[in-house]
Amino acid sequence: MPDTDTTPAPRSAHPVLLCADDYGLSPGVNEAIRDLIAAGRLTATSAMTLCPYWAEGAAPLKELAGEADVGLHFTLTDQPPLSSLPKLAPDGTLPPLGRLMKLAYTGGLDAREIREELARQIDAFAAAWGGPPAYIDGHQHVHQLPTVRDAVADALAALPGAYVRLCGEPVAAVLRRGVAVPKTLLIGGLGGGLARLARARGIPANDRFAGVYDFSGRQPFPELMARFLDRPAGRLLVMVHPGIPDEALRRADPLVDQRKVEHDYLKSPVFAALLAERNIRLARFAEFPAH
């Protein structure tokens, strides 16, 4: 007996975009994300096109193209880049987040290098997918950083209809939710410049954001999702990181076991019941009401 309820939510329900990050990171992450899209439990996924499992994972994902938005998870940390970056990655590996942020906020990023790497990651997306990304966001939210955000805005302007992930939310909503408050406020605060760019250039974007937590597993994930989906308003985008642990994931990323926790919950009848209780329907970006 299937463990999912595919009964569609009423159109009057509040739309929420549920996005899984890190497609391409490992075969197990790819499998988990496709499983959830097929079950109607995700409506977007963000691809790490510089990772070795993006190209092989694109074909089976295309079979589900009508069910979810697929975008670029622009990556500037910890992985081998697709272009030669003598300043940012002289040893052939992108820097850790702390070093990248320091460079960004001290004027140390080479704009030409950032734009070249972004172009290469977009090209890698298109080569495997057969078309452009539906949106751009950033691994570890790097798309919000100075210099990076300008490159992202320019790239989006050349992709008609593509949207951008904004990571800000009203302070009152963050405080009421009570989950990882300092981290959430910091991530949101760093995104002010990108939000202004998006408004000025008419780039479509979400206007609410949730999904930030510490990945420790100390607080049960069902409780976290209940808070992330409390009183949904506006164009709410919720970020998740489901996966099925495998050796490739263990080699590539420290976040392993919690990904399975997320996958199992999102696939469960308990999550379906939460959506019904809150009168929420999972939606793609185009299904949000026009502003």
pLDDT digits (tens, 9 = 90+) for 38-57: 999 999 999 999 999 999 99
Beta bridge partners of 283: none
Kindly state the tokens that stand for 57.
Answer: 């994972």
Measured distance CA(283)–CA(286) in Å, rounded = 8
Q: Look at residue 275 in the predicted model and tell me its pLDDT.
A: 98
pLDDT in single tens digits along all 291 residues of the chain: 334 444 555 558 999 999 999 999 999 999 999 999 999 999 999 999 999 999 999 999 999 999 999 999 999 999 999 999 999 999 999 999 999 999 999 999 999 999 999 999 999 999 999 999 999 999 999 999 999 999 999 999 999 899 999 999 999 999 999 999 999 999 999 999 999 999 999 999 999 999 999 999 899 999 999 999 999 999 999 999 999 999 999 999 999 999 999 999 999 999 999 999 999 999 999 999 986
Instruction: Report CA-CA distances (Å) from 27 to 30, 258, 275.
Output: 5, 16, 28
Q: Which CATH class is domain 15-287?
A: alpha beta
pLDDT digits (tens, 9 = 90+) for 100-146: 999 999 999 999 999 999 999 999 999 999 999 999 999 999 999 99
Query: Global pTM?
Result: 0.94
276 burial (CB, 10 Å; 0-12 / 13-18 / 19+) is middle
**What Rg value do the Cα atoms of the chain yield, rounded?**
18
Measured distance CA(5)–CA(267) in Å, rounded = 9
242 burial (CB, 10 Å; 0-12 / 13-18 / 19+) is buried
Domain boundaries, the chain: 15-287
